[in-house]
Amino acid sequence: MVAGFTIPSAIQAGTLAASFGVFAGTAALFMFGEVPRVRRDILQQIPGLDTYYDRRIAPEDNSPVINRGWDYIAEKNMVNPIWILGATLLLGYSPPL
């Protein structure tokens, strides 16, 4: 008897704790599987799952124009002075130039 546990009860408690630990670790991996760092550093290292967790964007789907915002418009001189005046008067906002 060690610390109030007999050998059979210690084995039973250890088996139960190990089972809960494996379940909790597996659940955490799959819950955080969409985090790029976890996916790249842990899940893609498992043989057979590396292609499943590969989330690269195809070049034809990676449009360079989406979500450029005010910086892209100002950089390309696509700002219409009438539009700036209207936005400033109606919305009280002007783009950073």
Domain ranges across the chain: 1-56, 64-97
DSSP 8-state code for residue 97: -
Q: What is the pLDDT of residue 85?
A: 67
d(CA 97, CA 75): 9
- List the pLDDT tens digit at each of the 97 positions of the chain: 777 888 888 899 999 999 999 999 989 888 888 888 888 888 888 888 888 888 887 777 766 655 555 555 556 555 666 666 666 666 666 556 5
Q: What is the pLDDT of residue 5?
A: 82
- Whose tokens are 């919305």? That residue is 91
Q: What is the reported pTM? A: 0.46
Q: What is the pLDDT of residue 80?
A: 64
Using CA atoms of 5, 8, 10, 14 in order, give the dihedral in degrees to the nearest 10. Answer: -170
Of all helices (H) and strands (E), which one includes residue 9? helix 7-31
